[in-house]
Structure 1
């Protein structure tokens, strides 16, 4: 094989070796057999919560073990194509094999980064909260664009998306909104997005077509399950009910079904208006508050001056993690990793994985995109 194909094969094999060691294939195979036996038990769903955890773990192990088996088969197929093309002087077949090797290398590297998601709550569902910054209608519209970007990202991953709260802007866009994203490793990926996001564009609201800069903040925090105990005293909280301003038909807009909880010691505020029932909204708001308090505690433990906490001081200049420039040129740049994209339209349509991978790799290895040399 020519040098390009040999280098690709070597990189893929190294990535697969790292994935096998991280997973511990023998132990994972035994555990999957145990879970399959539990799933066959007719009493499994007597405890719905326990059953769901078993099914999630089983699905994850099937996916990871299945991916390794598929990598082996696809690697062999691609190498066969390259060798066949070389032996018969068929450049097209040889190039097809190399294209398959490149795609396999990209997926192996993505899964290698995903293997870094081993934190206590990385596998959990997550809340993504967006707030407009100073700037009125411009910032509200930018917050709406970000909100859509994360919804599209979640849909690309086949995650389930629910709108928990949405407060419309006075003229356009949103002042704030919260998404609940449900799916394996949803929080592990999305947690990289917390911070201030900056947009530069020709304003559609300016009759003089001037360039404007807008800011919006994004906070990401995990859904907390029963394994993690967070003590919240009701006496430390103020609970307000109000009329929902979001979509949902006549009933949701004519009753005080929305709930806002303010945690007085920390100043954390959460709100929920996704349900018609005030009782359900209140229960969800309490869960959101527990999650926010957990996220706050983790941030404090990691470092008092962590980038996440520092970025929360102000939604404006000097605190952004990423810039999106639509005019006078096209560029999205992450200021933490230096990773860039020249296609803002694709990024705003949910193409965020490369940015997330770069941030995860930097956190784990102190550099840019993860490489085999860094891990070894």
Structure 2
């Protein structure tokens, strides 16, 4: 970064600067944790002396116990961050959930997954924003797309990419029979216009329409929602979350850039899968994880057994 021509290549400079900032933050967290652990060691030594003197208090013991718990939690986060060495792992993500085989049950299952990820994001301290949602006719959703912003958001969510299977007694079946439902989760790195992904205007078609669902009079009475079709690939993205058409278009363009990056990553994965003789559909035999509620309760990740 100290080279005189470092900023001549803006794209390379941005990547190096971002990586430098991530590593500097990780180093600062490590040093802070190391200091706290050293302090805990001194407190533990004092506690042993007080115990021998018969003056050790419950409050002092609890202080050390709480400090150890906080240190273990911070250590887990640091160790977890070591797993994310991919180009996009440290960045934000675009997540799309789509219902598959199973009719209304599958649409309900897709909405359950959406709620699950949004709650997880909240607990994690991430910012999750639903950019598009297509409701099912009876219940649930046909599809939904949300952005996820936070440290290692893409690295964490990329493990969810694939088909998810639910087995339960159907609440939509009058005979209350067992139903198997499927939903697919797509995860792409959130790419902005500064990331160097070029999209020619002649390669896209932009349509506007009235946003559906809650949002007030402005949202429902103006053509603020935006749908962008990338003609060479057939990729379609939609955004209706923002109040203005301009904002929705900007967000949709970033979503399109993200999908194009995902397509390239997917192409590489599919080539590797073909070499292994594998394929994926949103149906039986292709799930990465099964959630069984009936006749027994079990969550099983089929990638790890």
Q: What TM-score do the two structures reach when normalised by structure 2?
A: 0.79
How far off is 1:131 after superposition? 0.8
Show structure 1 runs of 5+ residues with no match. 1-30, 32-48, 339-376
Deviation, structure 1 residue 73? 3.8
Instruction: Tell me what 2:229 maps to.
Output: 262
Partner of 1:323: 290
Does residue 126 (structure 1) correspond to residue 93 (structure 2)? The answer is yes
Superposition deviation, residue 235 in structure 1 = 1.9
- 2:45 & 2:97 partners in 1: Cα distance? 46
Indicate how the Cα distance of structure 1 residues 314 and 162 shifts in structure 2: closer, same or farther if over 3 A, else same.
same
Q: Using a 3 Å threshold, how does the CA distance of structure 1 residues 86 and 197 change in structure 2: closer, same or farther?
A: farther
Matches within 5 A, 1:79-158: 108-158=75-125
Q: CA deviation at 1:288?
A: 0.6
- More moved, 229-238 vs 295-304: 295-304
CA separation of 1:77 and 1:208: change in aligned 2, threshold 3 A: farther
Q: Give the structure 2 partner of residue 294 of structure 1.
A: 261
1:22-71 per-residue CA deviation (whole Å, 9 max, x = no partner) reads xxxxxxxxx9xxxxxxxxxxxxxxxxx9xx97997565554343233334
Looking at structure 1, the residues matched to 44 and 239 of structure 2 have their Cα atoms a distance apart, in angstroms, of 50
C-alpha displacement of 1:78 = 6.2
1:36 maps to none
**Separation of aligned partners in 2, 1:254 and 1:115:** 48
| Corresponding position: 1:69 with 2:69 | no
DSSP 3-state at the match of 1:305: helix
Corresponding residue number in structure 2 for 1:173? 140
Structure-2 change in CA distance of 1:271 and 1:80 (3 Å): farther
State the 1:212 CA deviation.
0.9
- Aligned-partner Cα distance in 1 for 2:245–2:41: 54
Q: Structure 2 residue aligned with 1:199, among 161, 166, 180?
A: 166
Aligned pair count? 286
| Per-residue Cα deviation, 1:276-303 (whole angstroms, up to 9, x for no partner) | 2111111111111111111222333456
Counterpart of 1:228 (choices 195, 208, 223) is 195
**Counterparts of 1:111 and 1:190 in 2: how far apart (Å)?**
17
Equivalent position of 1:281 in the other structure = 248
Contact 2:92 2:154 in 1 (8 A): yes
| Structure 1 residue aligned with 2:4 | none
Partner SS state of residue 314, structure 1: coil
Q: Which residue of 2 aligns with 1:253?
A: 220
- Taking structure 1 as the reference length, the TM-score comes to 0.65
What is residue 11 of structure 2 aligned with on the other side?
none
Whole-angstrom distance in 2 between the partners of 1:146 and 1:83: 53
- 1:193-223 deviations in whole A, cap 9, x for unaligned? 1111111111122222211111111111111
SS of 1:256's partner is coil
Q: Which runs of 5+ in 2 are unaligned?
A: 2-13
Distance 1:106 1:288 in 2: 33
Shift of 1:247: 2.2
1:75–1:230: structure 2 CA closer, same or farther, 3 Å change rule? farther
Query: What is the RMSD computed on CA atoms of the aligned residues?
Result: 3.7
Deviations for 1:122-142, whole angstroms, at most 9, x for unmatched residues?
221211111111222111111
